[in-house]
Amino acid sequence: MVKTTIKGASTHALGIKDKVWAAGAHHRETCVKTLRDLLSSWVTSLMTWLVIGIALALPAILYLLLANAGSLGGGFDGGARINLYLAKDQNLLSLLAEIRAYPEIESAELINANDALKSFEAETGFGNILLSLPNNPLPDVIEAQPESLSPAELTMLVMQLEAVTGVERAAVDLEWIERLFAILALGERFVTTLGLFLSLGVVLAIGNTIRLAIENRRAEIEIIKLVGATDAFVRRPFLYLGFWYGFGGALIAWVMVQLSLLVLSGPIEELLNSYQNQFFLEGLGPATTFSLFAVGIGLGVGGASIAVSRHLHTIEPT
């Protein structure tokens, strides 16, 4: 009698390295496939990207305009120059060193009376009138640039400098600075509030788009769940879909911001140059650009996650 042996199915456990490689390969494949799917229906995708781009570009443009407007006060953080009018017959270099020794003072420059008179003649054209005066009516001045201070701290510093021996008067337009700070603070809150509402709109728009994508692939999802696909496996394509929606929207927002700054730079620079010389409108720097794309991608993935968590669990094979 011949004895036969029947072998059953065998299992093979994958190592950690194989699992990591397989997961990475599936991530790359899913990432590329979702981008191809979006580009294959580029008209519909472009409409969604435009909606996201406009929602991201509007607060970004307002933020940049607000940051540039802050330069009217000597910088967005609140710097303001203090003019110290000096008494006659003072040791100017000693006074300048004393003012520079204050920890709140970043820099200080001495403008002597003769230089101030020449500058005044050049700017006003009143040279003949000034020559008829017996003495130079202008005092020596120390122009001090303090650190970024609040209006209350700046007021305290002005009082301290005015008490220095040899300083007759310290002048700074605190009322104008306080008003500017109040306007900038209001603008910051407005931009923040607007950004939050528009971000909510982006999340809802992406969430609705992902919900429609889930419904269109309902039959496919039921089949792959039937053969044992995990929730993470099913969820992955839709998360990458949200990633590409956010990335594309941020890219369009970046282009919109650059075009808007190109159009607005001339009138804005002309306006701000009436307050200070050689002003140049600052655009999107590397840090701001990175933040814009990070926000766009974060909103895209966040909106996709919300839609997937709400709708995917309702689809089960029967």
How confident is the chain (318 residues) per 10-residue block, as mean pLDDT?
49 64 80 90 91 92 79 50 80 83 84 72 61 69 78 80 82 69 83 91 91 85 79 86 94 92 76 58 83 93 89 72
DSSP H or E segment with residue 105: strand 105-111
Contacts of 219 (CB under 8 A, 6+ apart): none
CATH, range 82-172: 3.30.70.3040
Contact predicate 250/296, CB 8 Å: yes
Report the distance separating Cα 114 and Cα 94, nearest Å: 19
Q: How far apart are the C-alpha atoms of 150 and 148, rounded to whole Å?
A: 7
- Residue 6's alpha-carbon distances to 1, 3, 12, 13, 276, in angstroms, are 16, 10, 19, 22, 93
Tell me how far the alpha carbon of residue 88 is from its chain's centroid: 49
Asked if 238 contacts 214 with a C-beta cutoff of 8 angstroms, the reply is yes
Q: How many helices (H) and strands (E) does the chain have?
A: 10, 4
Token pair 């995708």 is found at 45
> Counting Cβ atoms within 10 Å, is residue 68 exposed (0-12), middle (13-18) or buried (19+)?
buried
pLDDT value of position 127: 55
For 286-299, give the DSSP string: HHHHHHHHHHHHHH
In the three-class reduction of DSSP (H, G, I as helix; E, B as strand; rest coil), residue 107 is classed as: strand
CB 25 within 8 A of CB 218: no
Show me where the domains of the chain are located: 21-73+179-314, 82-172
Query: Do strands 82-86 and 167-171 pair parallel, antiparallel, or not at all (unpaired)?
Result: antiparallel
Tokens of 194: 């607007």
Q: Strand, helix or coil at 78?
A: coil
Query: Strand 141-146's sheet: what is its strand order?
Result: 105-111, 141-146, 82-86, 167-171
Phi, psi of 183 (to 5 degrees): -65, -40
Q: Which two tokens stand for residue 123?
A: 């700017």
* CB-neighbour burial class of residue 248 (10 A; exposed 0-12, middle 13-18, buried 19+): buried
Sign of the C-alpha dihedral, residues 229, 235, 240, 245?
A: positive
Question: What distance in Å separates the CA atoms of residue 225 and residue 237, rounded to the nearest whole number?
Answer: 14
Residue with tokens 């337009």: 173
